[in-house]
Structure 1
Amino acid sequence: MYYYSLQPPYFLLLVGFLTALTSGFALSGTLKVIVQKWPSERSENSKPRSSWKQLFVPFLGITGGICLFLSSGLEIFGFPSFLALGVGLPISLLTCLLVWIQLGSMLAFAERQGMQSLDLDSLS
């Protein structure tokens, strides 16, 4: 016997996608502002870690949107609601945790070495 949802969560799929998309634009804008402020912060010797608080809220929005999008997509393809959430939540949280760690290490590297150190086109 197959499980078919009477009303697939297409609306939740769209909401999750739009949440992740708009939070991604917010994260991009916040990153640009933070990187533009680096030269003035170096001269003042202030603590640059306060920028992580500004990045956390948009990144949390991306994480929630991806979780909603993935869980809704699995439910549309026939997974029961509890199983779709049970698969979508760990996958999205683990992926977003790994991306957060990578983002932190890349920002720390770029802050120490400069943005030119990230230019991979000049290596060839």
Structure 2
Amino acid sequence: MYYFPDPPYFLLVFGLFAGITCGLAFEATLKQQVREWSKNRSTRTLAQMQGIQLQLPFLGICGGICLFLVAGLEVFGFPGWLSFGTSMPLTLFIGLLVWSQLKSLLGQLERGGSRALDLDVWE
């Protein structure tokens, strides 16, 4: 007789909690850096502001979401190796896409100010 293992509900909740908490830290750090740049208009570009202060919360988001995806797939009965093998590349790919989009948006903000990001102009 085969018994199904208990699903990792704790890891599911912990991954979601870690992703949300790191997301809030990422938001606060990003807002602070953009506000600081907007006030000073320093020669230090916004693209260069993406140091460890911004990368650490972003990596926390990616780690939390990867853990959430792994645990979520295991809840549905997938084996651990398959869950991890699916979640890790997916998280890395989406994380790289989001990070490149963030760099692009910060570059646009630096070149054209907040007017460059105003999407209501196109209506």
After superposition, the Cα gap between the structure-2 partners of 1:5 and 1:64, relative to the gap in structure 1 and judged at 3 Å, is farther
Task: Show the 5 A alignment for 1:23-42.
Answer: 23-42=22-41
TM-score normalised by structure 2 residue count:
0.90
Q: Per-residue deviation at 1:110?
A: 0.7
Distance in 1, matches of 2:46 and 2:99, equals: 17
Aligned residues: 121
1:106 deviates by: 0.6
Structure 1 residues without counterparts, runs of 5 or longer:
none
Identity of aligned residues (%): 48
The answer as to whether partners of 1:41 and 1:48 remain within 8 angstroms in 2 is no
1:13 correspondence with 2:6: no
TM-score between both structures, scaled by the size of structure 1 = 0.89
The answer as to whether partners of 1:15 and 1:69 remain within 8 angstroms in 2 is yes
Segments ≥4 residues shifted beyond 3 Å: 46-50
Whether contact under 8 Å (1:5, 1:76) holds in the other structure is no
Mapping 1:66-85, distance limit 5 Å: 66-85=65-84
Which residue is equivalent to 1:117?
A: 116
Q: Which residue of 2 aligns with 1:56?
A: 55
